[in-house]
Amino acid sequence: MCGIVGAVAQRDVDLILLEGLRRLEYRGYDSAGMCIVSESGALNKVRRVGKVIELSKALADQPLRGHTGLAHTRWATHGGVTEDNAHPHVSHQRISIVHNGIIENFEALRQEIVAAGIELRSQTDSELIAHLIYQQVSSGHSLLDALAATAQRLHGAYALAVMDRDDPSTLVGTRSGSPLVVGIGLGEHFLASDAGALLPVTRQFVYLEEGDLVAIRTDGFEVYDRSMIPVTRELFESSLNADAVDKGGYRHYMLKEIHQQPDVVAETLEGRIIDNHLVADCFGPESEALFAKVEAIHIIACGTSYHAGLVARYWIEAIAGLPCHVEIASEYRYRSPAVPDNTLFVTISQSGETADTLSALREAGRRDYLATMTICNVPESSLIRESDLAFMTRAGVEIGVASTKAFTTQVTALMLFTMALARHHGMSAAQEADLVAELRALPGQIRSILQIETDIARVAEDFTGKEHALFLGRGTEFPIAMEGALKLKEISYIHAEAYAAGELKHGPLALVDDHLPVIVSASSSELLAKLVSNLQEVRARGGQLYIFADQDADLVASDQVHLITLPVNHSTLSPILQTIPLQLLAYYVAVNRGTDVDQPRNLAKSVTVE
């Protein structure tokens, strides 16, 4: 989703801003722009529809020089994808702003600005903010006071960075519902939507809290809370690697991230299992006492993270014997769920900044939960900071919009969570030792599935001309079928649906003919016989079956049955293993169809608006 970079330095900032935008590209966007105060005190801006590369070409023809500037990648909400709607927006050639988020009282503010005789140049909610701030500064308020007064009038989500042509020594910013970090350099300071944008220039960051305002200059910065009381926020030294955003020789980030899975899953397990047991307090020192009290689990997440939660439900109910409810955050936040006594509220998120998941957590805070916990991939993210317990997946930076390694590390973490609960709810030492052994084998098993990549690439060729696909699974492979369908639709734009195989005859069977590929995740569990009956129903109607089965499944290929045997045996962790071929399938179908694999149209990596 939209990305912000701002800089105040003693050198030209155009290249810093451009590199920052490049590093924010993964968030998803459709236009980009930059505005810099020149040495002669003019606001100069360049904006382009499309990728950052288009902006960079425009800047080569029309360079922007100066020591204070703002830049932005826009993901359209109010108003189409046009140059006029791209940020930065400017008011009266004096105030320039970039905005991430969505302003809900947009219409009322628009009418007010139009009534004041100001001609709007865009259809955005963001331009209105520039004019509101201008009105304040032109009536004598400082830029920071003007921002504070304006922020109080905004309903919705925002991260804002603002620049005043008449005082380029200072940039101001604020956030509510969308992230904003301050980067601390030597004789220069920065603002950005995420720390990754600024890694080439600093490793020291301050994460603003909800409602915070900040003023940055070359020689320092000050943070204020929403009542304009000066506050001190903790300084973080980032451990992120500046090279983490390189493709490392792979054609796409997604392919690199698929191949990183053996290592990052091993990383997620590191120090959390020892000998034949789970490390008791790997969910934090308070977790032991807390988990003993837990009587029910509510898991809330969006997108791929939601699918991870769905896998966990099977495990938590079967292994820990605790009722587990899993729900999409955007639904949960607007209803009144019944919360049983001693329920633990759990969010799952790669980014830790997804607006709906964050709002759900805040809703949960108003309800009667035992405690809140997050399973998250980004340290210092809002979910981590606002949850009682936090468990880090260690997937590293994930750039591809379609989540891969974040998912497999989440599901791995969720097995650890299941075991941590089950220790207090009847799991035997032998069962724990078996699960630990399966976890230890996992990285090697993922590695062996990656060995059959070329077989999967060959299968993907059959899908190039297709417009629809159906994914089937049973038990823990049902959420994997959902994840497989999501991957395929996200990056190849083929319409894909997932069904629990047992539901086939209640509707989707009507779709089956000899054009429809049906992709099946078949793990040799007690449900295999049932699944085989469902597959016969597809075959009898001429459907083309693509079955990903483990070695124990003992299925045979035939005319309509393309069998891809995974070089692994069945285990409790089969859903993790079954995910890998579906990721590769989606990837190669997308490559064959020539889509933008890493940044699919209309999608964003980090969805920071509702």
Active site residues: 2, 605
Query: Which is nearer to ligand G6P, 196 or 508 (by Cβ)?
Result: 196
* Non-local CB neighbours of 511 within 8 Å, separated by 6+ positions: 468, 470
Whole-number minimum distance, CB 140 to ligand G6P, in Å? Answer: 42
Q: 337: cis peptide before it, omega within 30°? A: no
* Non-local CB neighbours of 454 within 8 Å, separated by 6+ positions: none
Nearest Cα residue to 1 out of 27, 30, 33: 27
CA distance 463 to 423: 45
Which secondary-structure segment (H or E) carries 234? none
Query: Which is nearer to ligand G6P, 96 or 351 (by Cβ)?
Result: 351
Tell me the torsion sign for CA atoms 271, 276, 282, 283: positive
Whole-number minimum distance, CB 198 to ligand G6P, in Å? Answer: 20
Whole-number minimum distance, CB 352 to ligand G6P, in Å? Answer: 7
Query: Which is nearer to ligand G6P, 178 or 357 (by Cβ)?
Result: 357
Q: What type of residue sits at position 30?
A: D
Query: Which is nearer to ligand G6P, 365 or 426 (by Cβ)?
Result: 365
Whole-number minimum distance, CB 607 to ligand G6P, in Å? Answer: 5
Nearest Cα residue to 410 out of 325, 321, 348: 348
User: Both tokens of residue 478?
Assistant: 């049902």
> What are the two backbone dihedrals, phi and then psi, of residue 121, each rounded to the nearest 5 degrees?
-105, -10
Query: Which is nearer to ligand G6P, 351 or 583 (by Cβ)?
Result: 351
CA distance 245 to 251: 13
Whole-number minimum distance, CB 349 to ligand G6P, in Å? Answer: 3
Residues that bind ligand G6P (CB under 6 A): 302-305, 349-351, 354, 357, 401, 403, 603, 605-607
User: From the centroid of its chain, how far is CA 574?
Assistant: 24
How many CB atoms are closer than 10 A to CB 123?
15
| Residue 220 Ramachandran class (φ > 0 left, ψ -120 to 50 alpha, else beta) | left
CA distance 126 to 240: 31
Whole-number minimum distance, CB 605 to ligand G6P, in Å? Answer: 5
Query: Which is nearer to ligand G6P, 382 or 571 (by Cβ)?
Result: 382
